[in-house]
Structure 1
Amino acid sequence: MESRVIARSQPCADERSRIVEAATAACRQYGPSKTNVADVSRLLGKSPASVYKVFPSKAAILDAAAASLFENRFCFTSSADCGQASATVRLKEIMLEQHRLVLQARDNDAQMFSLMALAAQGNWPSFKQHLKRLEAAVAELILAGIVAEEFAPAKIEVAASCFCASVSVLWDPIIVEVLPSSRCEASASELVSFAIAAIQRFRARKVEDPGKVA
C-alpha cells in the first residue's frame, strides 16, 4: 500500500518541480507581473489545463517560484558548521550575508528580485516561510550567545523577531529595492553591530544615590 502511494505522489512532485522551473524561466523572460499560465505551459510544451491540474492559479505558481528562490538562494548556515566562532560573530556574518545576497539579486537578477519584492509586499506564504527561517536561524544564535554569556537573558523568539525587524533595511526586498546601494553598503556592518549591542550581555553600572553628597 505504501509503495503505491509513493509511486502516485512522485510524478506529481516531479511535475510540480518542472512547472516551477518553467515559471522561473518565464519570470526572467517576461517579468513576474507579465508572466501568465499560458507562458509557463508553452515553455513546458503542455496545455494550460495540465498546469492548472497541479497549481490552482497563477498566484500559486509565482508563490512556488518565489519559495524556490528563497529556499535555494537565501539558505542559512547551521551554527554547527561555523567552527569556534562566537555567536556574536556568527550573527553578524549571517545578516551581512543575507544583505549581500539581496543586493546581488537586485543588481544581477532584476526580474527575480521583482518576484521577491512582490512576495514581500503581498506577504505571500513563500515570504512568510523565508522570514520564519531567518528568525529561527537568528534565534538559534541568540540562544547560543545567552548560553555563552555573550548576550543578556531574553525571550528567544521575541529577541529574534525584534533583531530581524531592526535590520530589515538590509534584507527586506521592499526596502532594499528603493534604498541607494551605496547607503546600504556603507552602513551594513555598523547597523548590524549596533543591533547586536542591544542584545549583548553587559554589567549595569551602579548608580549612586543622587541625594548623597560627597
Structure 2
Amino acid sequence: MIEQSESPPDLVKQQNIDRILASAERLFRQYGYTKTNVADIARDLGMSAGNIYRFFPTKAAIHQALAERILDVLYRNAWNIFHSDLSVCDRLRRYAQMNYQYTLDMMISENKVYEMVVVAMEQHWTVVKTHMDRVSLLMQSVIREGIDAGDFPEQDEAIAARCLSASLAQISHPVLVAQCYVENHEPSVSQLIEFGLNSLKYGSSCRAS
C-alpha cells in the first residue's frame, strides 16, 4: 500500500514515487516495457491503479522517470572519467569505450533494459537530448583542456564536441550498435574512436564560422 506517515509531505511523496519506480523497473526488466501495464505495477505494490495515477499520469510518465535515472547513471560514469587523472585523449577514449560497452552489455545481458532505452529515444527525446547536452558540456571542457595544453590546435570546443559525438554515434546509439556491432564489423570500435580523436588533432573543420 501507499505509505502513510507523519513525515513531511514532500518526503512521503518521494518515498512513494521511489517505490513505484522500483516496482516498475523490476517488472520492466522481467517482462519488458510493452508487456507491463500500470495494473501490473499496482498489483506488485498491493495498491490500486488509481493510487499509481496520483503520482504518474501515465505509464509513459513512469518510463520517462526511469529513463532519466538510467541516463543519470551514464552521466555519472562520464563525469568520473572526464574528471580522472588520465590524459585528455585517454579520457575521451575511455568515455567512448565505456559508452559502447554499456550499450553492448545492455543488449546482450539486459535486453529488457535495452527495450526501455530504445522506447525512451523514440518517445522521450527531450530526456535523451538533455543527457546528451550535459555530456557534451563535459566533453567540451576536456577538449578545451587539450587545446590549452597544446594537444589540439585552437578550435571551437563546442563544435568539436558535437562533431566527435556524432562521429561516435555508431558505437553509442543502441539501434546502430544492434545493427552493426553485435558481430565483427568494420570499421572497428577502436578505429572509429581513433578516427574521432585524430580529427581533434587537426581541428580545421571545428573552427567557429
SS at structure 1 position matched to 2:8: helix
Deviations 1:31-57 (A, max 9, x none): 111221111111111111111111111
In structure 2, the partner of 1:112 is 113
Candidates 66, 76, 79, aligned match of 2:78: 76
SS at structure 2 position matched to 1:200: helix
SS at structure 1 position matched to 2:55: coil
In structure 2, the partner of 1:138 is 139
SS at structure 1 position matched to 2:201: coil
Larger radius of gyration: 1
Name the CA shift for 1:175/1:146 in 2 (closer, same or farther; >3 Å). same
Deviations 1:59-88 (A, max 9, x none): 1101111221222256314367422x2111
User: Aligned partners of 1:32 and 1:185: how far apart in 2?
Assistant: 32
User: Aligned partners of 2:163 and 2:187: how far apart in 1?
Assistant: 22
In structure 2, the partner of 1:40 is 41
Identity of aligned residues (%): 26
User: Aligned partners of 2:28 and 2:81: how far apart in 1?
Assistant: 34
Query: Would you say the 8 A contact 1:120–1:173 is kept in 2?
Result: no
Q: CA deviation at 1:149?
A: 1.3
User: Aligned partners of 2:186 and 2:15: how far apart in 1?
Assistant: 40
Query: Would you say the 8 A contact 1:63–1:125 is kept in 2?
Result: no
In structure 2, the partner of 1:53 is 54
SS at structure 2 position matched to 1:181: coil
User: Aligned partners of 2:188 and 2:121: how far apart in 1?
Assistant: 23
Aligned counterparts, 1:94-109, within 5 A: 94-109=95-110
Unaligned runs of 5+ in 1: 1-5, 204-214
Name the CA shift for 1:108/1:202 in 2 (closer, same or farther; >3 Å). closer
Aligned residues: 197
Q: CA deviation at 1:185?
A: 9.1
Q: Structure 2: which amino acid aligns with 1:71?
A: D
Unaligned runs of 5+ in 2: 1-6, 205-209
Aligned counterparts, 1:153-168, within 5 A: 153-168=154-169
Q: CA deviation at 1:202?
A: 7.8
TM-score, scaled to structure 1: 0.83
User: Aligned partners of 1:93 and 1:127: how far apart in 2?
Assistant: 21
SS at structure 2 position matched to 1:183: coil
Q: Structure 1: which amino acid aligns with 2:91?
A: R
Query: Would you say the 8 A contact 1:170–1:184 is kept in 2?
Result: no
Deviations 1:106-128 (A, max 9, x none): 11000001111111223433322
In structure 1, the partner of 2:4 is none
Name the CA shift for 1:133/1:37 in 2 (closer, same or farther; >3 Å). same
Q: Structure 2: which amino acid aligns with 1:116?
A: V
User: Aligned partners of 1:174 and 1:118: how far apart in 2?
Assistant: 11
User: Aligned partners of 2:22 and 2:197: how far apart in 1?
Assistant: 38
CA RMSD of the aligned region, Å? 2.2
Q: CA deviation at 1:155?
A: 2.0
User: Aligned partners of 1:100 and 1:141: how far apart in 2?
Assistant: 21
